[in-house]
Structure 1
Amino acid sequence: MTVLTFGLVTVAGFFAGIVGYVTGIASLISYPALLAAGLSPVSANVTNTVAMVAVGAGSTAKAGAAVADDARALALHAGCAALGGLGGAMLLLTTPAEIFDAVVPVLIALASVSLLVQPKLRALAGNRTFPRLYPLGTAVVALYGGYFGAGAGVMFLALILVCTSETIWRASVLKSVLTGVANLVAAVGFAIFGPVHWLAAAAMGIGAFAGGWFGPALVARLPPAGMRIGVALCGVGLAGYLAIT
């Protein structure tokens, strides 16, 4: 990897970190950037997962204390995310990729539609919370995140906003923390067994950390309803893109 390529991947990582924190679809930028840097699809996928740990690290370092008021619940959901991320990594390393290809666009589309109609879903639920569904859903989304990753942030955001009464700002921080945990556990597996391109991961990670650091402040300035709708529309677009590629 040349110095110029390293620099370009770092810049791509920064924008991936910003987009990943705000919308949950960092891979829409980071994965193609790694392919353009010359990595094979499998290497780009696992390298991307390793690098995207930095988004969660950056945003947690910046705003993680704001969601640590209920340490027991946070530990529970982080544990579920860790188990799911580990399972997803094992699936990626041991099963043909075609197994999930057909359902990935559907999952992202469902999560995006859930975001669009989130106020109605909360109203139908009588604004109740779902303490059992939330950790189970966390594990399932993390399983997908450890396996492929693209759109996992959208799924986490939809899950949190539908199952809890969190504001979209806190939900965005929690989404980033849970995504980071799932990616971290999967990254450990990939580091041992997967074809990680460490120089590319370092370049992408440097930029992604900076993007994750600036993400919470940016979200705090966005109108909640507009952000929710914008993320949902981005998710629908990602689902459509994955369906036709």
Structure 2
Amino acid sequence: MVAVGAAGVAAGGLNAVVGSGTLITFPTLLAFGCPPVLANVSNNLGLVPGTLSAAYGYRREMKGQARRLVRFGAASLIGGLIGALLLLRLPADAFQAVVPVLILTACVLVVLQPWLNRRMKERGDNGRRDGGFPLWCGVLVTGVYGGYFGAAQGVLLMGLFGAFILDDLQRLNAAKNVLASLVNGVAAVVFVLVADIDWTIAGIIAAGSTVGGLVGARYGRRLPPVAMRGFIVVVGVTASVIMLVR
């Protein structure tokens, strides 16, 4: 179980900065013989404290974002609930074909963020802060995916934010952490009520991800925009490759 705890720490840190922590913990659980659905459910529950600790670590960057968080928080809660219910109904590989495409698209949006922001400013969109209804729908769909599986949920959110919102990358990352915690949290409630959970695994991952989330938030906010953008792309491409060959 030491390996599971270490995977939890790594996943918590990665989730705080980018997302995709599930790609560390989920394969680890499978390697130790945990059935896929049980591993997914227990992993989701265990990562909730990590996403909360990451959100807390980025609390300074959340100032002035209350309206944004309420608006997109509703989409994340609805999407997370739908995704959790789908996990209990659909085959385990139902999203496998489309998810790598979504992640790679998000990576392209992250790379194009400076250009997209310049175009917004040229059009006079300097005050555009909420992304409108299209972004709300995008956050909803990302929430569905996050409640269902969740790997690279953060990459998808950062890609959407970069394409639709004019703001500092670290502030957007803070918002991403809050929305991810909402998605994981509502999915965890559903799983606790109706699904089988390995509480030992969930507890070990929870302890590790909490530490990792705090550490990731502390050092992730120090990354300059170019480095953070590059990190997101590397993680996103890696996640896509892993999911394609899995």
> Shared topology, TM-score over 0.5?
yes
Q: What displacement does 1:82 show?
A: 0.5
Matched, 1:51 2:52: no
Q: What displacement does 1:63 show?
A: 2.5
Q: What displacement does 1:65 show?
A: 5.0
Residue equivalent to 2:232: 231
Q: Deviations over 1:150-179 (max 9, x none)?
A: 111100111122211221111111111101
Taking only the aligned residue pairs, the percentage that are identical comes to 35
Matched, 1:37 2:38: no
Instruction: Quickly say closer, same or farther: Cα 1:98–1:11, change in 2 above 3 A.
Output: closer
The 2-side partners of 1:26 and 1:158 are apart by 17
Residue equivalent to 2:243: 242
The 1-side partners of 2:60 and 2:231 are apart by 26
Determine helix, strand or coil for the equivalent of 1:47: helix
What code does the residue aligned with 2:176 have? K
Matched, 1:77 2:72: yes
User: Residue 88 of structure 1: which of 80, 83, 87 is its match?
Assistant: 83
CA contact (8 A) 2:49 2:206 kept: yes
Q: What displacement does 1:87 show?
A: 0.5
Q: How does 1:183-222 map to 2 (within 5 A)?
A: 183-222=184-223
Residue equivalent to 2:20: 25
Q: What displacement does 1:232 show?
A: 0.9
Instruction: Quickly say closer, same or farther: Cα 1:213–1:200, change in 2 above 3 A.
Output: same
What code does the residue aligned with 1:75 have? V
CA contact (8 A) 1:16 1:211 kept: yes
Matched, 1:97 2:92: yes
What code does the residue aligned with 2:195 have? G
Q: Which TM-score applies when normalising by structure 1?
A: 0.91
CA contact (8 A) 2:15 2:51 kept: no
What code does the residue aligned with 2:47 have? M
Q: What displacement does 1:103 show?
A: 0.6
CA contact (8 A) 1:112 1:235 kept: yes
Q: What value does the CA root-mean-square deviation take over the aligned residues?
A: 1.6
The 2-side partners of 1:202 and 1:174 are apart by 26
CA contact (8 A) 1:68 1:74 kept: no
Q: Which TM-score applies when normalising by structure 2?
A: 0.91
Q: What stretches of structure 1 of length at least 5 have no aligned partner?
A: none
Q: How does 1:57-136 map to 2 (within 5 A)?
A: 57-64=52-59, 66-126=61-121, 128=125, 129=128, 130-136=131-137
The 1-side partners of 2:60 and 2:75 are apart by 20
What code does the residue aligned with 2:101 have? V
Instruction: Quickly say closer, same or farther: Cα 1:98–1:29, change in 2 above 3 A.
Output: closer
Q: What stretches of structure 2 of length at least 5 have no aligned partner?
A: none
CA contact (8 A) 2:69 2:179 kept: no
Residue equivalent to 1:155: 156
Instruction: Quickly say closer, same or farther: Cα 1:164–1:239, change in 2 above 3 A.
Output: same
The 1-side partners of 2:160 and 2:169 are apart by 12
Q: Deviations over 1:106-127 (max 9, x none)?
A: 1111111111222122233347
Q: Deviations over 1:191-238 (max 9, x none)?
A: 122222111011001110111112222112212111102211220121
The 2-side partners of 1:200 and 1:223 are apart by 35
Residue equivalent to 1:172: 173
Q: What displacement does 1:68 show?
A: 4.2
